[in-house]
């Protein structure tokens, strides 16, 4: 077995990748049929922070890509939550004559949203 480096940088990089990025070490997998975590130690080698056989202190291209995808999916999930909360607020709002007047009045400064202007602009 290769001795661990004296510098804690490798372990810190691996912890950041795991905790903030949600990236599992490459030797871990999931078997949905058995519903259990599997270990394939052939994937544990390489020059990256999660490797047990090297002093790798840089993320691999696959890990950088997975980290970027993780952040993208997290941002997408957060935006979906925000949109869904807005939909729930709109669903709970009662439609009244006063609210309708307010909406129509607020759209009056946007002539391109009016039906008659759109039809004239498209056909005339």
pTM: 0.53
Instruction: Please tell me the predicted confidence (pLDDT) of residue 50.
Output: 77
**Residue 29 predicted with pLDDT over 60:** yes
**Residue 124 predicted with pLDDT over 50:** no
d(CA 80, CA 62): 27
Q: pLDDT category, 6, cuts 50, 70, 90?
A: low
CB distance 59 to 48 below 8 Å: yes
Give the chain's largest Cα–Cα span. Answer: 79
More confident position, 11 or 115:
11
Name the 3-class secondary structure at 7. coil
Instruction: Please tell me the predicted confidence (pLDDT) of residue 18.
Output: 84
Q: pLDDT category, 79, cuts 50, 70, 90?
A: very high
More confident position, 32 or 95:
32
Percent of the chain residues past pLDDT 70, beyond the cut: 77
d(CA 45, CA 28): 12
pLDDT mean across residues, the chain? 76
25 sits in which H/E element:
none
Instruction: Please tell me the predicted confidence (pLDDT) of residue 27.
Output: 80
């Amino acid at each position: 077995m290769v001795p661990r480096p004296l510098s804690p940088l490798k372990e810190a990089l691996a912890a950041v990748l795991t905790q903030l990025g949600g990236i599992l070490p490459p030797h871990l997998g999931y078997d949905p049929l058995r519903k259990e975590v599997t270990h394939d130690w052939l994937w544990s080698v390489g020059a990256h922070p999660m490797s047990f056989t090297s002093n790798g202190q840089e993320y691999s291209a696959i890990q950088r890509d997975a980290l970027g995808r993780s952040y993208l999916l997290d941002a997408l999930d957060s935006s979906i939550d925000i949109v869904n909360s807005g939909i729930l607020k709109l669903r709970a709002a009662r439609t009244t004559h006063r609210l309708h007047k307010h909406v129509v009045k607020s759209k009056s400064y946007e002539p391109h949203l009016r039906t008659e202007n759109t039809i004239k602009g498209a056909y005339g």
